[in-house]
Amino acid sequence: MRPVLAFVLAATLFAVLPVGSGASAADQPAPITAGGRRLATFLDGLDVESLWIRNHHVDWRTGVAEGPEETAPGGHTHCSAFVAAAADRLGIYILRPPEHPQMFLANAQEQWLDGAPGSGRTAAAAGWRRLGRLADAGVAVKAVSLANKGDLVIAVYFQPPEVTAQGPKERSGHAAIVRPSDKPVAAIERDGPDVIQAGMHNHRLIAMKTGFASHKDGWRDGTIEFFVHKTRFASASATD
């Protein structure tokens, strides 16, 4: 009976773990350090739910609206401007105005982070490192672990252009910042890391699956990418 019982337990465990996740007890996110707590406090202090509001032209660095609400068709959102502002306040460069306008900035950031040349420094020279895609086993958990240390981790999706009779039509991508979190692996694999973001709705804390709901292909296909940059918070953790 013992071999049968062992087989049943193994089969049950396999059924519980997400397919392709490779999740195990060893894959638990690293604990939140002092650096991670400082990063969380910094992110909360950005007041994203009151600034970088959609349908307004905003100062990308502050998120403050410049003028009345825009009424032109289309969603005027500021996910990538918010990411750029957060990085800027940490002394970190990511592609931003004036090197690229706010329009379709998330797509441009993804390509720049992935090594595409831009005006000015490259992502590698600026200190960014690619972690991988959402579909890659263990990458989402690793992203949370690094945020828990106090590193700045960006989740970004390049939205492929729409094919029309008039030719390719560019569509907006999306970018967000991974928050420090003590979520278990199962929750990360099911709903993604917790993120902070601007967008159609701004959120101080939301699961990635919900935050990227307007880009379902990126979630379904696992093509959302993660990139990381060291911060002063992570450096401070080593001395705490």
The 10s digit of each residue's pLDDT in 106-143 is 999 999 999 987 667 899 999 999 999 999 999 999 99
196 φ/ψ angles, rounded to the nearest 5 degrees: -115, 140
Distance CA 87, CA 152 (A): 8
What b/e readout covers 67-82, taking b as 16+ CB neighbours within 10 angstroms? eeeeeeeeebbbbbbb
179: nearest Cα among 218, 202, 150, 200? 150
Q: What backbone phi and psi angles, to 5 degrees, belong to 62? A: -105, -20
Q: What average pLDDT score do residues 186-210 get?
A: 97
Choose among 204, 154, 186, 225: nearest CA to 40. 204
Q: Where in the chain are the domains?
A: 27-237
Tokens of 69: 């609400």
Distances (CA, A) of 122 to 62, 64, 95, 131, 207: 24, 28, 9, 17, 30
What are the φ/ψ torsions at residue 153 (nearest 5 degrees)? -115, 125
CB crowding 187-226: b at 16 or more within 10 Å, else e? ebbebbbbbbbbbeebbbbbbbbebbebbeebbeebbbbb
Token readout for 44 is 């909360």
- Per-residue pLDDT, averaged over 194-205, amounts to 97
Q: What is the residue whose two structure tokens read 């307004």? A: 56
Write down the residue that tokens 């690293």 correspond to: 30
Residues 208, 231: Cα–Cα separation, whole Å: 22
- Per-residue model confidence as pLDDT tens digits over 15-49: 333 333 444 445 689 999 999 999 999 999 999 99
CA distances to 11, 24, 135, 178, 185 from 18, rounded to whole Å, are: 13, 11, 11, 21, 10
To the nearest whole number, what is the mean pLDDT of the chain?
87
Residue 155 has pLDDT above 90, yes or no: yes
pLDDT at 8: 39
Q: Which strands, in side-by-side order, build the sheet including 129-133? A: 129-133, 225-229, 152-157, 174-178, 194-197, 203-207
27-237 has which fold? endopeptidase fold (from Nostoc punctiforme) (3.90.1720)
